[in-house]
C-alpha cells in the first residue's frame, strides 16, 4: 500500500478526535443531539484549521445507519464510504474550479431529487467565496428554502467576499487558529503513535512555523521526518526551516546588557556566517524580550517549550524593566525601517548600535546579575579605548561663569567718564564696540573676584519706553545687559526693539530695585514696566495682553465658594484700581480677607508667588491709597483663597461666554441643516464668543 501523509492519515473522523475549536463543536454537538438542524452551515477560518473535516463529520452524523447523533459509529457502510470519499449523497464541490453560473445551475438541477442511500443529500461547497456574482444569485433561492432532504455545508477562508444575502441564510461558525501549545500537544501524540523519535524543541519550532494551521504542522512534520532520516531533531528542523539558533540571540542580548560594542559586532559576524534573514533575527530577539517581560511580571508564567526557561529568568533578573521595554520598542521600529537600509546586515547592526547608544541610564537600584558565558564571543572592550563599553565617559564640565566674566574683564577699553546704566535681569547682550560702555558689577558670586571700581553717582533711571535696546547674538550663559550711556534713537527703529527686549528678559528672576534720583529704593526694576489698561465698564481683566510681558501662568481654577462679603467687594474694587502687568496679575489673584479701618489683609494664591515682591506690594498699596483717598496699611499673605478672586471670576465669565457661544452655534438652524445634509461636524475649539458692549 502506498504511503499516506500524516495530514490525511490523522484527519479526525469524529468530534472526539478534533483538536481545538471547542466553541464550534459544542454548538454542533448540541444541535445534532437535540435534532435542531439548520439547512445551511458556513465554516470560516484560515487554511488547515478543520473546516472541511467538520463538514464531513456532520455529513457522517446525518447519514449514519445508527441514527442522527453527534457520535457516528464509524463502522457502517455509510461512515466508511464518507471516510473514503465515495459516498454518493455527499456532493463535494470545489467552487474555485466551478465559478460559472452554468456550473451552479447544473448543480442545483439535482437538488429536487431524493438522496440515493442516505437520509440527506449533503452539498459541501469548498472555497465558496470564489463563486461569481451570478452563481451566488442563482444559489440564493435554493439556499434559503431547500428541500427537506438537502443540507448545504459551505467553507471559505475569506468570508468578506461573500454577499450579505448568503451570510444571512447560513449559520456561520468562525474557526480559530491553532496556538503553538495545541499544535505541539497533537504532534507529540501523533509522533508517539507513529514511533518516531523527536525532541520537544523541534516540535515547538514546527508549531510556531505552522502559524496556526494544523495541516501545515502535519505537513512540516512529514518533511522533518524525511529530512532527519526518521527522526525529528531540533537541529535538523532548524536547518530545514532556516530559523535561527536561540543561543546566538542570547549572545546578542548579553552583549547589549554588558554594553560591549566589540562583543556585539562579533556576535553579528557569527550570525552573518549563517546567512540569516535579518528581519527574522530581529523577530527572534523580540520574542525573547517578550518572554523576559513576562518573566519580570509573572515568573511562573514562562514556559519551557523552547528549553530556555532558565536563560529567560536570568535575563529577567539582569535587565531592568525599562531596558526591556526600550529594546522591544527599538526592535519594532527597526523591523519597520529595515527594508529602507542600503544593506540588511548594516541595517541590523544600526538597530543594535542604536539600542546601545540610547539605552536608559543605569539606576542605582537596577539589578546587577552576572550572566553565564555562552561560548560564542567573550571579547571585551577596553574602557579607555572604547567609550561605548561599560559606563559612559563623563562629559567635560565647563565653568558656568566664564562666559560672564570675559566681557567684563576688558575694562581698559572703557572710558572712565561713561556712567553705568541700570542692570536688567535679561538674556546676555553683547555690547557694541563702536559705542564704549562701562561694565557693571553683576549680583553673582564669580564676579566678586574682579577688581573693585568706585561706585559712580546714580543718575535718574529713564522711563522704560524711552530706553533703546541693542540687538545682539545671545551667548551660552546669562550675562549682564549693558545699555549705552548716551542713547541715540534711530527713527527707523521704532518700539519693536523694545518688545524684543521684553521677550528675552528672565521673568522668573525677581529684579532688585534700583535707586531713584532722590535716593529712594522704590523705583521699579527694569523689565517690569508694561501695563495693561483695565476696562472699568466691563469689569474684565485682559490676561491675553499681560501674558506678553508676564510669565505664563495656569488658567485659574474655579473657586470652591462664590465671592461674598469682603471678597465680593474686592471683585468690584479691582477694576477701579487700573492696574496691569505683574501688579495687576497679583491683585487679580488676591482676595480681601480683612478691612479693619486702614488695615487691610489680602490673601494671594501661592501659585503666583513668583510674581510677588515688595515693589509689587508697594504699587498695589499706592493704587489702593489713590482709589480710596486715604492711607491704607496693606498686608499680603500667601494663602490659597477660599472665595472667588478677580482672575477666577474673569475665567468663569469667559467659560460662560464660551459655552453660550457653543450652544448658540449648535442650535443655529443653518448649522443643523448642514449637519443633517452633509454630515458636517462642529469644531468647538474654533468657536470664539463675540464681546458685545455693555
Pull the grid cell for residue 690: 463675540
Last residue in a domain, options 174, 198, 233: 174
So what's the pLDDT on residue 58?
A: 94
My answer on whether 229 and 133 are in the same domain is no
DSSP label of 651: H
Same domain, 547 and 604: yes
Q: Spell out, as residue ranges, where the chain has pLDDT lower than 50.
A: 363-370, 374-553, 694
The reported pLDDT for the residue numbered 121 is 92
Same domain, 12 and 150: yes
Instruction: Check whether residue 116 and residue 206 sit in a common domain.
Output: no
Supply the pTM of this predicted model.
Answer: 0.49
On whether both 306 and 338 belong to a single domain, the answer is yes
**Do residues 345 and 271 both lie within one domain?**
yes
Could you tell me the three cell numbers for 541? 481683566
Number of folded domains that form the chain = 4
The reply to whether 235 and 202 lie within a common domain is yes
Domain-terminating residue out of 325, 357, 389: 357
pLDDT computed for residue 371 by the predictor? 52
Q: Are 23 and 15 in contact (CB under 8 A)?
A: no
Query: Could you tell me the CATH number of the domain that includes residue 21?
Result: 3.40.50.300
Q: Say if residue 163 is in the same domain as residue 288.
A: no
pLDDT, residue 390, reads 38
- pLDDT score for 570: 84
Q: Is residue 570 part of a domain?
A: yes
- Domain ranges, residue 67: 6-174
With contact defined as beta carbons under 8 Å apart, do 588 and 638 qualify? no
Q: What is the pLDDT of residues 45-95, one digit of tens each?
A: 999 999 999 999 999 999 999 989 999 988 899 999 998 888 999 999 888
Looking at the fold, whether 275 and 187 belong to one and the same domain comes out as: no
Helix (H) or strand (E) holding 347: helix 344-357
Asked whether residue 369 is domain-assigned, the answer is no
Angle among Cα 128, 133, 136 to the nearest 5 degrees reads: 55
Query: How high is the pLDDT of residue 239?
Result: 84
- Cβ atoms within 10 Å of 368's Cβ, excluding its own: 9
In a domain, 191, yes or no: yes
Cβ partners under 8 Å of residue 687, min gap 6: 658, 661, 662, 665
Q: Is there a single domain that holds both residue 547 and residue 694?
A: yes
- What's 191's domain CATH number? 1.10.8.60
Amino acid at each position: 500500500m502506498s504511503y499516506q501523509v500524516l495530514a490525511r492519515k490523522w484527519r479526525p473522523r469524529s468530534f472526539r478526535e478534533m483538536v481545538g475549536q471547542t466553541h464550534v463543536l459544542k454548538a454542533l454537538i448540541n444541535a445534532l443531539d437535540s435534532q435542531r438542524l439548520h439547512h445551511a452551515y458556513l465554516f470560516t477560518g484560515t487554511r488547515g484549521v478543520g473546516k472541511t473535516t467538520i463538514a464531513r463529520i456532520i455529513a457522517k452524523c446525518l447519514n449514519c445507519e445508527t441514527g442522527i447523533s453527534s457520535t457516528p459509529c464509524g463502522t457502517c457502510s455509510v461512515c466508511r464510504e464518507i471516510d473514503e470519499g465515495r459516498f454518493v449523497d455527499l456532493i463535494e464541490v470545489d467552487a474555485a474550479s466551478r465559478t460559472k453560473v452554468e456550473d451552479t445551475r447544473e448543480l442545483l438541477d439535482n437538488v429536487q431529487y431524493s438522496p440515493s442511500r442516505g437520509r440527506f443529500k449533503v452539498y459541501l461547497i469548498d472555497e465558496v467565496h470564489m463563486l461569481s456574482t451570478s452563481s451566488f444569485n442563482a444559489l440564493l433561492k435554493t439556499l434559503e428554502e431547500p428541500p427537506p432532504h438537502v443540507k448545504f455545508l459551505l467553507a471559505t477562508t475569506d468570508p468578506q467576499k461573500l454577499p450579505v444575502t448568503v451570510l444571512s441564510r447560513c449559520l456561520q461558525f468562525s474557526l480559530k487558529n491553532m496556538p503553538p501549545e495545541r499544535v505541539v500537544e497533537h504532534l507529540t501524540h501523533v509522533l508517539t503513535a507513529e514511533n518516531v523519535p523527536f525532541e520537544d524543541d523541534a516540535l515547538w519550532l514546527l508549531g510556531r512555523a505552522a502559524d496556526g494551521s494544523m495541516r501545515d504542522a502535519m505537513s512540516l512534520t512529514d518533511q522533518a521526518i524525511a529530512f532527519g532520516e526518521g527522526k525529528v531533531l531540533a537541529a535538523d528542523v532548524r536547518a530545514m526551516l532556516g530559523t535561527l539558533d536561540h543561543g546566538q540571540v542570547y549572545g546578542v542580548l548579553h552583549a547589549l546588557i554588558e554594553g560591549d560594542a566589540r562583543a556585539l559586532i562579533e556576535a553579528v559576524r557569527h550570525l552573518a556566517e549563517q546567512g540569516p534573514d535579518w528581519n527574522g533575527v530581529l523577530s527572534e530577539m523580540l520574542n525573547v524580550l517578550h518572554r523576559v517581560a513576562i518573566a519580570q511580571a509573572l515568573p511562573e508564567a514562562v514556559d519551557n517549550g523552547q528549553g530556555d526557561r532558565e536563560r529567560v529568568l536570568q535575563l529577567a533578573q539582569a535587565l531592568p524593566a525599562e531596558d526591556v521595554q526600550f529594546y522591544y520598542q527599538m526592535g519594532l521600529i527597526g523591523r519597520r525601517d529595515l527594508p529602507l537600509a542600503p544593506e540588511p546586515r548594516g541595517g541590523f547592526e544600526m538597530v543594535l548600535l542604536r539600542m546601545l547608544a540610547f539605552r536608559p541610564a543605569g539606576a542605582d537600584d537596577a539589578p546587577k546579575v552576572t550572566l553565564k558565558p555562552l561560548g560564542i564571543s567573550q571579547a571585551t572592550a577596553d574602557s579607555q579605548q572604547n567609550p561605548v563599553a561599560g559606563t559612559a565617559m563623563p562629559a567635560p564640565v565647563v565653568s558656568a561663569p566664564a562666559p560672564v566674566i570675559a566681557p567684563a574683564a576688558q575694562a581698559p577699553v572703557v572710558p572712565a567718564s561713561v556712567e553705568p546704566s541700570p542692570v536688567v535681569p535679561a538674556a546676555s547682550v553683547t555690547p557694541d564696540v563702536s559705542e564704549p560702555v562701562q561694565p557693571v558689577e553683576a549680583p553673582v558670586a564669580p564676579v566678586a573676584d574682579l577688581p573693585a571700581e568706585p561706585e559712580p553717582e546714580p543718575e535718574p533711571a529713564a522711563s522704560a519706553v524711552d530706553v533703546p535696546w541693542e540687538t545682539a547674538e545671545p551667548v551660552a550663559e546669562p550675562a549682564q545687559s549693558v545699555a549705552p550711556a548716551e542713547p541715540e534713537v534711530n527713527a527707523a527703529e521704532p518700539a519693536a526693539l523694545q518688545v524684543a527686549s521684553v521677550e528675552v528678559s528672565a521673568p522668573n528672576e525677581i529684579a532688585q530695585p534700583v535707586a531713584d534720583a532722590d535716593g529712594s529704593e522704590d523705583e521699579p526694576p527694569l523689565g517690569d514696566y508694561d501695563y495693561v489698561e483695565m476696562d472699568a465698564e466691563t469689569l474684565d481683566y485682559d490676561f491675553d495682553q499681560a501674558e506678553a510681558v508676564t510669565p505664563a501662568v495656569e488658567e485659574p481654577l474655579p473657586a470652591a465658594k462664590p465671592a461674598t462679603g469682603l471678597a465680593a467687594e474686592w471683585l468690584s474694587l479691582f477694576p477701579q484700581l487700573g492696574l496691569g502687568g505683574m501688579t495687576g496679575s497679583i491683585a487679580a489673584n488676591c482676595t480681601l480677607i480683612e478691612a479693619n479701618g486702614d488695615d487691610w489683609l489680602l490673601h494671594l494664591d501661592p501659585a503666583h508667588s513668583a510674581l510677588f515682591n515688595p515693589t509689587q506690594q508697594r504699587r498695589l498699596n499706592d493704587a489702593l491709597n489713590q482709589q480710596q483717598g486715604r492711607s491704607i496699611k496693606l498686608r499680603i499673605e500667601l494663602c490659597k483663597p477660599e472665595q472667588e478672586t478677580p482672575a477666577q471670576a474673569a475665567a468663569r465669565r469667559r467659560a460662560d461666554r464660551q459655552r453660550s457661544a457653543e450652544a448658540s452655534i449648535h442650535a443655529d438652524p443653518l448649522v443643523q441643516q448642514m449637519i443633517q445634509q452633509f454630515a458636517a461636524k462642529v469644531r468647538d475649539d474654533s468657536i470664539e464668543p463675540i464681546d458685545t458692549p455693555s
